[in-house]
Amino acid sequence: MTTTFTTTAPSPVGPLLLTSDGTALTRLLFATEPDPSWSTETCPVLERAMTQLAEYFRGERTDFDLPLDPAGTAFQLTVWLALRDIPYAQTVNYGQLATRVGNPRASRAVGLANGRNPISIMVPCHRVIGADGSLTGYGGGLDRKRTLLDLERRTSGVDDQQLSML
């Protein structure tokens, strides 16, 4: 049986729960309780993840350099990989993301996969918005989504009007 290492990290969007199998980050969730069977020992992957998250929240990091291993279906993995291609401080809508994964009519399925993303922030599901440019559907809540997008906007120098046009 594989050991699941876990830690929590403070952040401007509330406590984050991180898990790793020792070789890759497997989850980055908003304030949930760890499974009692998970080890509370840290591991190098979690230490790197916490360092990179701190740098991201200070505006010093625009991408993450960690091995990631989210568990999901083949379609979900395809969507989550496409999320990682959305540039920092930019947004796409669900229809655009569906087109990027090769199925332009699958915007609802893309939305469901986006909502099941187990590695938030590092797999930037917060960069997906509604077709009309509105902030929609974020598992962490719209306030967190807005905070993350505002952080990226400030760090990159993109103003509110440019952000709404992306």
Backbone angles phi, psi at 83, to 5 degrees: -60, -35
Q: Which fold has domain 74-165?
A: Arc Repressor Mutant, subunit A (1.10.10)
Q: For the chain, give every domain's residue range.
A: 5-57, 74-165
Q: What percent of the chain has pLDDT over 90?
A: 73
- The per-residue pLDDT for 40 is 82
Tokens of 51: 């360092």
Compute the distance between CA of residue 138 and CA of residue 95 in angstroms, rounded to an integer.
16
**What are the backbone dihedrals phi and psi of residue 154, each rounded to the nearest 5 degrees, phi first?**
-65, -45
Single out the residue of 79, 74, 39 nearest to residue 20, CA to CA: 39
pLDDT per residue as tens digits for the range 98-137: 999 999 999 999 999 999 999 999 999 999 998 888 888 7
CA angle 92, 88, 120 (to 5 degrees): 80
Q: What is the pLDDT of residues 8-23, one digit of tens each?
A: 989 999 999 999 999 9
| Residues classed as catalytic | 125
Q: Which amino acid is at 153?
A: R
CB 59 within 8 A of CB 12: no
3-state secondary structure of 5: strand
